Every structure is written in structure tokens, then in C-alpha cells.
Amino acid sequence: MKTILATLARPIAKRTYLLVLAVLLLNVFDAYASLYIIRLDSRELNPVNLWLMGLGTDYFLCGKIFIAALLILALAVRAKKVPSAVHALWIVFVIYAANAAYQIAIIGYWLAIR
């Protein structure tokens, strides 16, 4: 327990903090865009998200955002000691950014054909 508290007590670099914030914002966008796209007559392929959606919209949003936030913050805490954790955060950022661009394209397509 002492090691965990010592790890959490170390400050996170400002650049890492901004990267974490950007990934968390992209995650929130992903959650809401996923719901919107599903309402446009699409379907969820991720089994965990599908299960959460079966519980209800609120469970889906809270679960999706919480799970991703927990994992992203775990990487941020590790980034204090392990430089490869910062690289992993950048990879996650690129994946979320590409996913956001894809979702925007899907929404644009659906709105154009309606």
C-alpha cells in the first residue's frame, strides 16, 4: 500500500496530463457518438459495450467512460516511472482520434443519405 501511495504522490508531467485529458475527451465523444450511430440504425460490435447497452443507456455511458478512464489513468500513473507508458498513451490517443474521425464520417454519411 505504501508503494501505491508513493507512486500516486509523484506529480504527472503537464504534457502527460494534457494527453490523458485529450484521450478522456475522445473517449466521451466515442461513447456519445456510438449511441448516436446506433440510433441511426447501426449496431454495436464490442461484446462488452453490447452488454452494457442491454442494461441501458446510462449504464453504457458510465461503464464505457469509467472502464476507459481507469485504464488511461493507470497508464498515466505508470508514465511517471516507465517511459513506454507514455508511448502507450500516444498510441491510445491515435486510435481514439482515428475512431473519432471514422465516427464523424459515418454520421456525415448517414445524415447525407437521409
What is the residue extent of each domain of the chain?
A: 2-113
CA–CA gap between residue 17 and residue 10 (Å, rounded): 13
pTM over 0.85: no
- The string of pLDDT tens digits covering residues 59-90 is 899 998 999 999 998 888 888 778 888 899 99
Rg (CA), the chain: 17
CB 103 within 8 A of CB 34: yes
Kindly state the percentage of the chain with pLDDT values over 70: 90
SS (H, E, C) 1-55: CHHHHHHHHCCCCHHHHHHHHHHHHHHHHHHHHHHHHHHCCCCCCCHHHHHHHHH
User: What pLDDT does 6 receive?
Assistant: 57
Q: How far apart are CA 6 and CA 13, in angstroms?
A: 16
